[in-house]
Amino acid sequence: MGPEVRFHLLGPLVVTADGRPVPLGGAKQRVLLAHLLLNANRTVTPGQLVDTIWPGDPPTSAAANLQTYVWRLRRLLPEGPVLRTHGPGYSLVVDTETVDARRFTRLVADATRAGAPESALELLAEAESLWRGDPLEDLPTAPAWDAELGRLVENRLAAVEERLSLQVRLGRHDAAIAELTVLLAEHPYRERLWQQYLLALTGAGRRAEALQAYSTARERLVTELGVEPGPELRAVQAAILAGEPVAAPPGVPPPLRQLPADLPDFTGRSEYVRDLERALGPAAVVLTGAPGTGKTALAMHVAHRVADRFPDGQLYVDLAGTGIPRDPAEVLADFLHALGVTGNTVPAGLGQRAALFRSRLAGRRVLLVLDDAATAAQVRPLLPGDAGCAVLVTTRGRLPELAGAKHVELTVFGEDEASRLLAGVAGVDRVVGEPAEAAAIVRCCGYLPLAIRIAGARLAGRQAWSLRTLHDRLADESSRLSELRVGDLGVRPSFELSLRQLPADARTAFCRSAVLGAQDFPSWVVDALLDRDGAHEVLDVLVDANLVSLAGRDSGGNPRYRLHDLLRCYAAELLAADPSQPETLARVLTVLLALAKTAAAGLPPAFGAMTGPSVGAPVATAGLVPDPLGWFTAERKLLAAAVQLAADAGLHELAWQLTATAVPFYDLRGAYDDWRRSHLTALAAVEAAGNGAGAAVLYRGLGQVRLYHDEYAAAVSDMERSASLFSSLGDVRGEALAVAGLGTVARVRDRPREALGFYRRALAGLERAGDRRGVAQVRNSLGTTYASMGSFAEADSWLRQARELAREIEDPHREAKVLTELGTLHRDKGALPESLACLRLALSILEELADERCSAYALLGIGQTLLAAGERTQARGVCDRALRVFRETGNRQGETTGLELLEQAQRRRIPSAAARN
């Protein structure tokens, strides 16, 4: 049996065998080993190793020398790890648990998944004990290591923050305060540490000191960095001022709480509740039953009762099995977003998303409620792999092919339960006063909970009615809903009775409300359904009639509504006979498009986004978009569904305009998955209809989102297709925007001369088209490209022209983007005060516009300039905030640049010149 070998990177490079140090030779051999360990179990090319060992100036004998170092290293390494040759490359095959950096990462991940705070603290303490200094602090600097070492440094501090957060949550405030005081002296600009400090002081009853600490933090940030505190730190201070409970800091995400509300008058089902509570465990539980038996109500009731068994949260989704079943890949994207995975960090494929979802739930105790499933194939990718999670599925049909699942079939109410539910809704006194009529009513309702609720609501809203009156109306068997039966009992009488009691316009609105499918909707939809303004009273009638229910409120506090599944099916049946159905759908989608255009106009523009001509709404829309960003956030799912509805109905013009209009929102929030999916849906519709203009716009948008995903070949193909289509249509502006996109792809791929050709061609087209905003953007792009080539005079000229035009057309967002590039140019020229002035002005504009992504790039620029000025501590401070945004939006390129900057700001190792000695 060989020795126990350990590799230590978190400090000076050390290799031990059975606890004794192993001699590793000279500096270059040690650099070689360090690079192989940082890329453990991966093949590294000789070119990468040469660049790392001799950065910038390799000798002519580098290749031969490298082979010698590899040979010597093989002889020095103890038994266990294997240094292999793969063609021209090399790999060091090791057990990752023997590498302290990998072990540290694993322990932190385990702590994140640990259910008990005490267990998490133990794991974090073990992880921190692995650190003996700065990573590889005894070796020469190597630019190839910057991102990885920066990631390790950042993760170390994040682990410390997580541990301190747990201590604060457990009430160990004094110990946390003492440690935070020391940490803030070393990291005076790290806002997450200040957040923990304020929380600890507040928890210790030292509110005045917490407020003073905020003032100190703000003064340092503003005076020394030129930036205001971020929204999270401001939120903590506001909560302290208001005397409100202070929310956990961003580093400690709150448990997920997605369950819809439990019914306050839930009745009966005691045996089912008991059985389901017992059944919930590692195996999925499938609750089946006929329509209207109350599967969802029972599932919600049980889920709320067992919620404390799942402290890491509850996830809920309506799978829409009775309508257009939701794609499990789309559902997984929503779940991953809820779990903190955003932007292009959400994988593209169903299998990859399912694997990441299982990984995110590993070690957690989470309850998933999958409501209204269509098939087992829809459910399988949504199942967690961890035994600590539980799944409750509701479905109308049995799912026998769902291996290992426990199946519970829900029958109709018994007579006693049905009567108690009727009494709970209509009033106990009335049911007690007419027991025979109450029994007859629930019999006519087929003992189905939904039908009984509707009947009870009718009685509750009509106090003058006797129960006999309602019984007589329900007794008409000829009007029962034929396709929804239990035995020889139906529920149509309660539905038709509900409609019969409505005014004509309410009946019309109810029938037409099915056009949107299984979507929550805002109140203006009823105006569009009826093609008139002021239809709110109709919505009130439908709500009072229990035909439309309140589904909660959106992020702006506005109410949203929906139809219960059975009622939606009933409405859809009636709508199918309505000849005005196509016009109704087009009218609703037109109003939605008009509102989307209004909202998009209030967001920072996305270059290249084309939304088509303005549209007039057939109903009043004034005041419906007070907050553009909040509106898009609230209507995000409705917009995606609307694109699909428009495409399915052949409304191709509406389909492409709806998705294209949402591009500024998608761009601002990094919602790349929605962007791609809706564009592809609309593209299929416009190409089937021969709509060249719509296809040209959509190919331009697809090219942009593919560029964000680093899919360069596909981006070029889409942009070229867009340019060709615009050219054939004689659309000079559209062609120019597509060509500018080709320039950006070339620039990102480090082909500056190719990029210049595209940009000059695009500039000429935009000038001919009179698009001054586009001209400003392309001038900015030309300046950026010249700067990358070292042509500073040309770059300065183009950037100043771009800024001047942006100010002329009053486009602050474009001006801020140009200022960011000017700041970079000044830094490259060595004019550091001018660089900071430009970047800080850009940041103030972008933060006022709430553009987090561009603000992060401005912060990164400030950090790079501060580092160039030798202000390492300040550079780390602004880099920290930028990194948080890049991670939240899934911006891999920005995160890598930020980590490299963090490592450079942290670096205390030997300068690279020492590697030549």
Region of residue 94 (phi > 0: left; psi between -120 and 50: alpha; otherwise: beta)? beta
Strand partners, 567: none
Give the Cα separation of 877 and 872 in Å (integer).
Answer: 9
Residues 6+ apart with CB under 8 A from 835: 823, 824, 825, 826, 827, 861, 865
Strand, coil or helix: 65: helix
- DSSP assignment of 165-223: HHHHHTT-HHHHHHHHHHHHHH-TT-HHHHHHHHHHHHHTT-HHHHHHHHHHHHHHIII
Q: Which two tokens stand for residue 186?
A: 């070393």
The CB-based long-range contact list for 658-662 (8 Å cut-off, 24+ gap) reads 658/589, 658/592, 658/593, 658/596, 658/682, 659/698, 659/701, 660/609, 660/610, 660/611, 660/612, 660/697, 660/698, 660/701, 661/593, 661/596, 661/597, 661/600, 661/611, 661/612, 662/596, 662/600, 662/632
Predicted confidence at residue 825, as pLDDT, reads 95
- pLDDT confidence of residue 55: 84
Q: Which has the closest alpha carbon to 359: 331, 379, 340? A: 340
H or E element: which one contains 299? helix 295-305
pLDDT of residue 485: 36
pLDDT at 687: 96
Mean pLDDT to the nearest integer, 744-761: 95
| Per-residue pLDDT band at 247 (split at 50, 70, 90) | low
Residue 347 CB coordination number (10 Å): 19
Percent of the chain with pLDDT over 70: 92
pLDDT for 40 equals: 87
Which phi and psi angles does 216 have, rounded to 5°? -65, -45
* pLDDT, mean of residues 487-512: 68
CB atoms within 10 A of CB 899: 23
Ranked by mean pLDDT, which of 118-127, 597-606, 815-824 comes out on top?
815-824
Rounded CA-CA distance 345/897 in Å is: 16
Residue 145: HSE in the Cβ half-sphere, 13 Å Cα cutoff: 30
Lowest-pLDDT range, 263-272, 541-550, 721-730?
541-550
Polymer length in residues for the chain: 917
Torsion of CA 299, 302, 305, 306, to 10 degrees: -90
142-146, 283-287, 489-493: lowest mean pLDDT where?
489-493
- Over residues 30-41, the mean pLDDT reads 90
Q: Answer yes or no: is pLDDT of 909 > 80.
A: no
Encode pLDDT of 210-231 as tens digits. Answer: 999 999 999 998 888 888 888 8
Q: What's the rounded Cα separation, in Å, for the pair 212 and 202?
A: 11
- Mean pLDDT over 20-48 rounds to 89
* pLDDT value of residue 496: 67
Torsion sign over Cα 187, 193, 197, 198: positive
Residue-wise pLDDT for 294-339, tens only, equals 888 899 999 998 888 887 789 999 988 877 788 999 999 888 888 8
User: What is the CA angle 271-275-277, rounded to 5?
Assistant: 120
Please give, one letter per residue, the 3-state secondary structure of 569-638. HHHHHHHHCCCCHHHHHHHHHHHHHHHHHHHHHCCCCCCCCCCCCCCCCCCCCCCCCCCHHHHHHHHHHH
The alpha carbon of 117 is separated from its chain's Cα centroid by a whole number of angstroms, namely 26
What b/e readout covers 211-240, taking b as 16+ CB neighbours within 10 angstroms? bebbeebbebbeeebbbebbebbebbbebb
Q: For helices 504-512 and 536-544, what crossing angle results, to 10°?
A: 80
Residue with tokens 């039966």: 485
Residues 796, 802: Cα–Cα separation, whole Å: 10
pLDDT in tens, 160-180: 988 998 888 888 999 999 999
Confidence of residue 431 (pLDDT cuts 50, 70, 90): confident
Whether 251 shows a pLDDT value over 50: the answer reads no
Q: Which residues contact 35 (CB under 8 A, 6 or more apart)?
A: 44, 48, 49, 52, 53, 142, 144, 145
What pLDDT does residue 478 have?
A: 37
The answer to whether 763 and 733 are in contact (CB under 8 A) is: no
The sign of the torsion formed by the CA atoms of 17, 23, 27, 28 equals: negative
Most confident of 55-69, 251-265, 833-847: 833-847
In this structure, are residues 737 and 756 in contact, taking their beta carbons and an 8 Å threshold?
Answer: no
Q: How is 427-481 classified by DSSP, letter by letter?
A: -HHHHHHSHHHHHHHHHHTTT-HHHHHHHHHHHHH-TT--HHHHHHHHT-GGGS-
**What pLDDT was estimated at residue 112?**
73
Distance CA 105, CA 156 (A): 9
Which of left, alpha, beta for 36 (phi over 0: left; psi -120 to 50: alpha)? alpha
Residue of 281 and 478 predicted with greater confidence? 281
Q: Is the pLDDT of residue 252 over 60?
A: no
CA distance 650 to 913: 66
Contact 464, 451 (CB under 8 A): no
Backbone angles phi, psi at 53, to 5 degrees: -75, -40
Output helix, strand, coil percentages for the chain, rounded to the nearest 5: 65, 10, 30
Q: Say how many C-beta atoms besides its own lie within 10 A of residue 598's C-beta.
A: 18
3-state class (DSSP) for residue 394 = strand
- The listed range with the strongest mean pLDDT (219-223, 545-549, 680-684) is 680-684
Identify the residue with better confidence: 815 or 421.
815
Q: What is the pLDDT of residues 106-123, one digit of tens each?
A: 888 788 766 577 888 899
621 vs 809: which has the higher pLDDT: 809
**Tokens coding 256:** 């997920």
Rounded Cα distance between 128 and 132, Å, is 9
Burial of 833 (0-12, 13-18, 19+ CB in 10 A): exposed
**What token pair was written down for 3?**
């020795």
Residue type, 697: V
Please name which of 826, 804, 824 lies closest in space to residue 815, comparing C-alpha atoms: 804
Query: What is the CB neighbour count within 10 angstroms for residue 33?
Result: 24
**772 token code pair:** 């001054």
- What is the pLDDT, as a whole number, of residue 858? 92
Under 8 Å between Cβ of 551 and 560: yes
Check whether 745 has a pLDDT greater than 70: yes
Position with higher pLDDT, 399 vs 300? 300
Interval 445-497: pLDDT, tens: 777 787 777 778 778 877 888 888 777 766 654 343 332 233 333 445 446 65
With a cut of 70, say whether residue 548 has pLDDT above it.
yes
Residue 286, amino acid: V
Look at residue 912 in the predicted model and tell me its pLDDT. 46
Quick one: how far is CA 345 from the chain centroid?
9
- Sorted by sequence, the CB contacts under 8 Å of residue 24 that are 6+ apart come out as 13, 15, 30, 33, 73, 76
Question: Which single residue is written with the structure tokens 């052949």?
Answer: 650
Tokens of 631: 């509106």
Tokens of 297: 């109500």
| Average per-residue pLDDT for the chain | 85
pLDDT higher than threshold 60 for residue 754: yes
Give the model's pLDDT for residue 565. 60
**Environment class of 491 (CB within 10 Å of its CB; exposed 0-12, middle 13-18, buried 19+):** buried
In this prediction, residue 706 carries a pLDDT of 92
Instruction: Using the predicted structure, report yes or no on whether residue 39 has a pLDDT greater than 60.
Output: yes
For residue 826 the two structure tokens come to 């000044």
Segment 1-10 mean pLDDT: 85
Counting Cα atoms < 13 Å in the Cβ hemisphere of 683 gives 18
Which pLDDT does position 246 carry in this prediction? 62
How many whole angstroms separate alpha carbon 724 and alpha carbon 573?
A: 45
Distances, alpha carbon 916 to alpha carbons 94, 109, 167, in Å: 29, 39, 47
Share of the chain above pLDDT 90, in %: 36
pLDDT tops 50 at residue 387 = yes
User: Residue 410: in which H helix or E strand, if any?
Assistant: strand 406-410
